[in-house]
Structure 1
Amino acid sequence: MANTQTAPLLVPTVRIATVEKSDAAALWVVEPRKKPVRATISAPNGHYRVGDVVAISEHKGSIRVLARLAEAESPKAALYGIAADLGLTPLHSDQVEAECVAMTQNLGLDDPNLEDLSRLAFVTIDNEDSRDLDQAMHLRRGDGDSIVISYALADGAHYVPVGTSLFEEALQRGASYYFPGFSIPMLPRLLSEDIVSLNEDKDRRALVFEMTLSDKARAVTTRVFRARIKSAGKLSYVGVQAYYDAPEGSALAGQPYTETLDLLAEVGRLLIDAAKVKDVVRYRRREAEMDLVDGVLTVKLRPRLEVEMFNEQVSLLCNIEGARLFMERSANPDLQPIFRVHPAPLQNRLTELQKFTADLAGVHGLGAEWVWQRDSEGGGESLADYLERLPDEETTARIRWAIERQAMLINERSSFTDTKGPHYGIGAPAYARFSSPMREIVGIFTHKEAVELLEGKNSDLTRDLALRDRVIESGNRSKEIQRNIEKRAHKLVLDQLFHSDLTLPAAQRPRRIGTLMGLDASRLYVQLDNPPAEIKVYLDHLTTFSENGAPPAQIITDFAIVLDDARKLTVGDRLSVWVSGYDEGRGKWSFTLVPPPAST
């Protein structure tokens, strides 16, 4: 197994700071957990205000302000404050930028070892505003009922070679990080959005997985090689879904890449059906998306489109085939693979979930169709089949949401490792991350290892063993950082919302509808309908249930909070809350639970 000790982080030469004070000559800036320091600037001091978030560089102890990132007291400033606290920075060192500029002089497109696939109408499908396009595809019919997928991945290993400042900084960052309204890229944008990105009508280097699928969506052959490709179109999920919904008259019909879109839908459905056979759990979850719109943090439900699921299935297949390549060549001593392993839920957690479904069905007076039919030995109905067959009716939707949340909570976390193992979440015997070579350091390293393997190149074994450990540590750390970002950004969204509510008289504060999703000895977990966000209602900050000021008894059972007037709220129930106060010292909101109208 890889060394799990955390490698010491390098101190980046470009960092995030906040303006502490200014005078006619200079600014004083402060970084998290440091004292204010004097900094020089090129623009007049009046351009900066106390509280502005800025990018700074350090050279031989001298601090220089490079740019203002966000205005004082803005939500964006708060988000950059999170980034600074986590040691992230949106800018790159001068050395790294210089290496990127040097690459523009020779993009390596005339490499005689590249197969020329520029005649094929590859296409990228991503979000409308995406600029770092690391995946493109071309699909065609093969012999018989087979379908050939050419899945091109930006050639990250070529442009970010080991031993460069660019690789070392990417290793330190671990991944690109996503905040509401902006991102902090792992690679400079000159690479990730230009010379490496698979942009429309541009010749680009790619690592291609050519996968031939049988009529049962099984990869019967896979060939991996480097190639030169040219994307025939930069398409969006929304645009492709519109074509699927109404192909007649669509601008995407009759294009060189239209066959690829049609076959993607066919392959996507086949792969989804194949996943069901492997008992892969699919949640009918409602995806919440945070954003920064006109300086305001927002969160809204975004429907997951069919085309996104089709695209995801092809990406998963590529990564599964990449892992298979590594396993088939595992005897090669020069190969240093990295896998992403996802253990199955522990048996005791599965037993607890089965009991939860039975008890919750009993509390709500529901029939046997709501109970997971799993026996004490772990046999019987699979979790995937159970969740798939749960009634999909509006009257019981909140109960289904609570069950699905509980099913998600029993999952173990996945992690990068040097030892192959199954990935429970996708039903694969092994899984490797090839598909994000501009957004994850693991992707760059797996590309490097695959290319060296396929081209018969030998590298420094001692160096690569140590380097793989660092890559694994960095990759796992980056996942923790992204979870931290999302948790803290979620709190900012709620704080902004509830502070606004609290400025209103109590009678005018919004009564926010939600669902009781779970509870423990100290808190309730409530999923709001609007905004679609989960909040924690702490019992010691639960003021009243009814608006006459009477406090609840706060008696807790496994599924319910029992109130002083014999009313109770049960997991899966609809409820309403409004903000009644804020505890500055503990950073917790106080809420009032309001009974729903009798008609509901």
Structure 2
Amino acid sequence: MSDVPPLPTKDEILALMARNAAEAKDLGRKPAVLGKREIARAFGVKGADRSELKRMLRELEREGTVTKRRKHLRPSGAMPPVIVAEITSRDRDGELVAVPNDWDTAELGAAPRILIEVPRKPKPGAPVPGVGNRVLIRIAPAPDPDDTHAIGRVVKILTKSRARMLGVFHDRGDVGPRVSPVDKKAAAQEWGVAPEGDGGAQDGDLVAVEPIGRGTGYGLQLVRVVERLGTLNTEKAISRIAIETHDIPAIFRPDTLAEAEAVVAPGLAGREDWRALPLVTIDPPDAKDHDDAVHAVPDTAEDNPGGFVVSVAIADVASLVRPGTALDREALVRGNSVYFPDGVVPMLPERISTDLGSLRADVDRPALAVRLVLGADGRKRRHSFHRILMRSHAKLAYAQAQAAIDGQPDATTAPLLEPVLRPLWAAYRATTQAKAERGPLDLDLPERKILLTPEGTVDRVIVPQRLDAHRLIEEFMILANVAAAEALEAKGQPLIYRVHDEPTLEKLRALSEFLATIGIKLAKGQTLRPAQFNGILARVKDTEHEHLVNEVVLRSQAQAEYAADNYGHFGLNLRRYAHFTSPIRRYADLVVHRALIRALDLGSDGLADMTAGQLAEVATRISAAERRAMAAERETVDRLIATFLADRVGAIFSGRISGVTKSGLFVKLDETGADGFIPASTLGDEYFRFEEARRAMVGTRTATVFRLGDTVEVKLVEAAPFAGALRFAVVGGKTRRGPRGTGQDRPGKTTAPPKSTGERKSRRRA
């Protein structure tokens, strides 16, 4: 009789996962990592049977029964232990019901219902949630395994339901003033304005209103104007819509401001004196906050011929914002700074963000620095962290530094060219070799920038040129972030990682089906790494498919996030990665700074004692704040451009199909990057069939094809500035493609959503 145990059944594997989660709950800890190796060990699977077990696990993934997050397998639809959710309703028993805020229905199925558990005897000061609240919830499995819902207890109320609403004031003449809600999800088409409640608003004004009861006659909700926010044609009013609708804290609390004014920057005591080192900042020309400064010299060590010593100094915000203070509490609520075309909603008050915490030129500033020793091949050999006092020797703009390297120095850069800039560029050129060997995902989807007039309206939309100066800073910041994660892991110090999961099997299958339609075949079951994606992109470079494939590859990727567990960064192809370089504008970086201070014994203001669960809560909150900021920034751009184009209804534009659905086509205009929609019913005088694998709409009579990535001439039919929506109609009914290899299509490349696959040192988060 064989001593080899039989292979487990699928039900037994799922039962193991359930026990793993239940035991973790009983012990008050996170579930243990449960991957192929752990499952094989649990069931005693050895030798050739491991291949069969691997096949079974892949089948469970394909069936959608389990999902994989790097090496951790768990039942599909299972929620992490802490999530951000919105309380949407009450059930028949009066219990509060919530749904996760950012649930990927395409990947995970319908969003689960979460019943909010309210303690019978709540502790004094415990949060009291209600419908409309956005809350941080700790999840527990439902008592009955057959239940389709989970149980959650509110840890913190992030935003409360508010009576204040935004709308556009209209003078309706005989029927009186009305307000149209800006939020198109609002049930009402219009609100009535109570007598003497117009607040002096004029027709077309953006206003904030509060409900005061229901009216009679038409049954309209009556409101009172509590604030006039200006006309909708200005960026300030449009960004205000995003701020209000996404509950972004835009006004600092008085105690936070008072605390910021009282902060005194530390001096040299307990720090290394780096003020003589010619560190420089390189940023956008309009930057007010300067997180980082850089310096490089050839390494003179005999054991590192051709190598470099690169110094990256980061503003020491941890010395200015102490844990548990009003500044710290509000920074956590905000999570990050939010950037709009005309300004910023900062994470920290200006006293910190643009003054004491900003590495201004010729001013002493505290910093946390990392010294990176690079080999001639650009690989990092070692690193060390230092708490320093520094003085930036120059404030440079990207184009200014690049011009100096390209032979056109100005009065500021000429003295810095040989001693500072050329060594920086030499070190950067070395890193390009190491980067090429690492093979991060290399999508070609440049960002657009809106330029405003002095009045705050859109002047034009440009695609800023990507320079080596940008890439230099990005690569040095990535190296510093990797060093931070490695240093903390070496000390066993818990931290918040920046993580990016690999694409799911479902998304890879859809990508494979699409690539097959343009003659690119992937091996069945092939595991794609960034290098394989880059090979696909290289095959379509300068062809008619280039834009299309870049877009589809982007959509196959997961979204980056913050986590207390490390599952690596797929897009950057890095095993460990933490955000360290922007503590002025990202709370995650501030946590990493504090962790380094504690782990390396660099001061008394390090990270306080925190359990893994508490770090996971912080990571969940700041990930949600990041997604909130991304949505607000994107919607502001959409509304601003829709307003800009509102007086051009009837005009003809060239664009590119950026999305194909059963209901119609999404088009992105070449000129402005504006997104609009073409209903399927308006494509022509025939029925168009949606072919998902081809990402196309195909005419059943003429076989006319509208496919993702195709160029098309469209007419603007309607502009809805409130919603940031545009509706187009196809001109001529046929698509056209740019000639192969001419680069004709390059100005019309689609604008990517804020990137999650790369880590750029820009105003976007990745």
Which TM-score band (shorter chain)?
0.7 to 0.9
- What SS class does the counterpart of residue 518 from structure 2 fall into? helix
SS in 1 for 2:624: helix
Normalising by the residue count of structure 2, what TM-score does the alignment of the two structures yield?
Answer: 0.64
More deviation, 290-299/458-467 = 458-467
Q: Counterpart in 2 of 1:555?
A: 689
Q: Is the CA contact (8 Å cut-off) linking 1:300 and 1:532 kept in structure 2?
A: no
The structure in which a higher percent of residues are helix is 1
**Is the aligned partner of 1:5 residue 2:83?**
yes
Q: Is the 8 A contact 2:712 2:735 kept in 1?
A: no
- Matching residue of 1:510: 651
5 Å matches for 1:522-541? 522-540=663-681
Aligned counterpart, 1:473: 620
Q: Give the distance between the partners of 1:184 and 1:167, measured in 2 at CA.
A: 16
SS of 1:226 mapped into structure 2: strand
Native 8 Å contact 1:402 1:518 kept in 2: no
Q: Does 1:222 align with 2:383?
A: yes
From 246, 253, 267, the equivalent of 2:427 is 267
How far the C-alpha of 1:235 sits from its partner, in A, is 0.4
Report the equivalent of 1:411.
Answer: 557
By how many angstroms is 1:98 displaced?
1.1
Which segment is superposed worse, 69-78 or 269-278?
69-78
Distance 1:10 1:19 in 2: 24
Q: Indicate the larger mover: 45-54 or 171-180.
A: 45-54
What residue identity is the alignment partner of 2:715?
W
Which residue of structure 2 lines up, in the alignment, with residue 366 of structure 1?
A: none
C-alpha separation between the residues in 1 aligned to 2:737 and 2:708?
A: 19
The answer for the alignment partner of 1:42 in structure 2 is none
Q: Distance in 2 between matches of 1:36 and 1:117?
A: 64
Q: CA deviation at 1:308?
A: 0.6
Structure 1's 575 and 212: CA in aligned 2 closer, same or farther, altered over 3 A? same
In the alignment, the residues of structure 1 paired with residue 324 and residue 352 of structure 2 have an alpha-carbon distance, to the nearest angstrom, of: 17
Do the aligned residues in 2 keep the contact of 1:207 with 1:227 (CA within 8 Å)? yes
Deviation sequence 1:356-400 (CA, Å, 0-9, x none): 223124xxxxxxxxx2665654489811123134332xxx34x21
Residues 36 and 429 of structure 1, relative CA distance in 2, 3 Å threshold: farther
Query: Could you say which residue in structure 1 is the equivalent of 2:569?
Result: 423
Give the C-alpha shift of residue 568 in structure 1: 3.0
Identity across matched positions, percent: 23
Contact 1:31–1:84, Cα closer than 8 Å, also in 2: no
Q: What are the within-5 Å matches in structure 2 for residues 431-470 of structure 1?
A: 431-455=577-601, 467-470=614-617
Partner Cα separation in structure 1 for residue 374 and residue 572 of structure 2: 18
2:712 maps to which of 569, 575, 593: 575
Q: Is the 8 A contact 2:401 2:413 kept in 1?
A: no
Match of 2:457 in 1: 296
The aligned runs of 1:47-62 (5 Å cut-off) are: 51=205
The answer to whether the 8 Å contact 1:205/1:228 transfers is: yes
Partner of 2:126: none
Q: Please state how far the C-alpha of 1:236 moved relative to its aligned partner.
A: 0.5
* SS of structure 2 residue aligned to 1:151: strand
- The one-letter amino acid of 1:556's match is F
Any conservation in 1 of the 2:204–2:231 contact (CA below 8 Å)?
no
Deviates more, 1:379-388 or 1:309-318: 379-388
How has the CA–CA distance of structure 1 residues 148 and 471 changed in structure 2, closer, same or farther, with 3 Å as cutoff? Answer: same
Work out the number of aligned pairs and report it. 544
1:231 maps to what in 2? 392
Provide the residue aligned with 2:646 in structure 1.
499
Note the alpha carbon deviations across 1:79-110, whole angstroms, 9 max, x for none.
2021012222333121111111111xx31113
Residues in 2 aligned to 1:229 and 1:288: alpha-carbon distance in whole angstroms: 34
Task: Say if 1:154 and 1:438, in contact at 8 Å, map to a contact too.
Answer: yes
- TM-score (ref. length: structure 1): 0.80
The residue aligned with 2:102 is none
CA positional deviation for 1:585:
12
Residue pairs, 1:337-348, within 5 angstroms: 337-348=495-506
Q: Is the 8 A contact 1:53 1:77 kept in 2?
A: no
Q: Which residue of 1 aligns with 2:632?
A: 485
* Structure 1 segments unaligned to the other structure (5+ residues): 22-29, 39-44, 55-64, 362-370, 503-508, 546-550
- What corresponds to 1:313 in structure 2? 475
Letter in 2 for 1:592: A
Question: How far apart are residue 46 of structure 1 and its match?
Answer: 8.3
2:273: which partner in 1?
116
Structure with the larger RCO, 1 or 2 (CA within 8 Å, 6+ apart): 1
Q: CA deviation at 1:50?
A: 9.2
Correspondence for 1:520 = 661
Q: Are residues 443 and 597 of structure 1, via their aligned partners in 2, closer, same or farther at CA, if it must alter by over 3 Å?
A: closer
The answer (yes or no) to whether the contact 1:282–1:388 under 8 Å persists in 2 is no
Structure 2, unaligned runs of 5 or more: 1-29, 31-79, 85-135, 137-155, 170-180, 209-224, 739-766
Q: CA deviation at 1:498?
A: 4.4
SS at match of 1:255: helix
Cα deviation 1:114-157 (Å, max 9, x = unaligned): 10000011100001010110101111111231211110000011
Residue 337 of structure 1 deviates from its aligned partner by: 0.9
